[in-house]
């Protein structure tokens, strides 16, 4: 079973590991999101980025209803508590992630209001040789960010 797990290939958008431009290690997990799945993906990022800069690119999580603001803020606190080196958020609700992360101790936070704006500069601010997680609800279309960084 260990041999099979070692050769397991994930599909695009579902915790898919890819080598990107400038020796960036990408974790493409932008197919879907919930607060629990984002926290689990951040744990994977931390495990893989032990020897590099960790960058979390997180977008809006849809369909949270009345829990929307609190769910996004919980993720922001989790980012700060777990020492992510650089948080980049994209989207209106993701601003709650950025706000909470900055408020609770994350030193490097960048927010973009939409994917189009992020695409203009994101490849310039994500450092070479970083380990990068990209995660949001599918409707955010963050695969465009993954493609750009590849």
Could you tell me the domains of the chain?
Answer: 16-149 (3.90.190.20)
Give the chain's residues under pLDDT 50.
1-8, 11
pLDDT of the residue at 6: 39
Helix (H, G, I), strand (E, B) or coil at 85: coil
pLDDT of res. 13: 59
Return the pLDDT at 97: 98
Q: What's this model's pTM, rounded to 2 decimal places?
A: 0.90
CA distances in angstroms from 114 to 59, 63, 85, listed in the order given? 9, 18, 22
Q: How far is CA 127 from CA 30, 80, 89, in A?
A: 20, 19, 16
Residue 22: what pLDDT? Answer: 84
- Burial code (b: 16+ CB inside 10 Å, e: under 16) for 70-87 equals ebbbbbbbbbbeeebbbb
């Amino acid at each position: 079973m260990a041999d099979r797990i070692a050769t397991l290939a994930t599909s695009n958008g579902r915790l898919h590991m890819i080598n990107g431009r400038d020796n960036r290690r990408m974790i493409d997990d932008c197919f879907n999101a919930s607060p629990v799945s984002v926290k689990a993906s951040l744990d994977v990022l931390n495990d893989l980025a032990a020897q590099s800069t960790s960058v979390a690119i997180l977008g809006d999580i849809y369909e949270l209803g009345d829990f929307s603001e609190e769910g996004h803020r919980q993720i922001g606190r989790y980012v700060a508590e777990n020492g992510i080196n650089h948080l980049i958020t994209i989207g209106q609700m993701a601003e709650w992630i950025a706000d909470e992360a900055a408020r609770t101790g994350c030193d490097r936070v960048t927010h973009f209001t939409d994917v189009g704006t992020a695409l203009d500069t994101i490849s310039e601010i994500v450092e070479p040789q970083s380990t990068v997680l990209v995660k949001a609800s599918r409707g955010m279309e963050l695969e465009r960010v993954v493609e750009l960084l590849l």
